Amino acid sequence: MNRIRTFIKHEDGAVTVDWVVLTAAIVGICASVYAYFGEPIKELDARSGAALSNVDVAEEISVNFDAADP
């Protein structure tokens, strides 16, 4: 009888189940967000890359150290 009372008092299994359920919910939410936003983000990345590939970068950057401080 003591073993049954001890088993009922321990809540370790219940806490583990809670964490498993919460983790599964978070994974499910992340998967649905990826499924919904995945393709638009890939398109945005491709357009940004194309726009940045056409930008000319200055060969030399000069800084004027003689400027007066405000």
Structural domain count of the chain: 1
Q: What would the DSSP string read from start to end of 4-56?
A: HHHHHH--HHHHHHHHHHHHHHHHHHHHHHHHHHHHHHHHHHHHHHHHHHTPP
3-56 per-position pLDDT tens digit: 877 777 776 677 788 889 999 999 999 999 999 999 999 999 999 998 888 777
Is pTM beyond 0.75 here? no
Residue 32 lies in a domain: yes
Q: Give the per-residue pLDDT at 23.
A: 96
Residue 22 lies in a domain: yes
Residue 8 lies in a domain: yes
Residue 43 lies in a domain: yes
* Residue 66 backbone phi and psi in degrees, to 5: -85, 0
Residue 68 lies in a domain: no
Q: Give the per-residue pLDDT at 4.
A: 78
Q: Quick one: CA torsion of 61, 62, 67, 70, rounded to 10 degrees?
A: 10
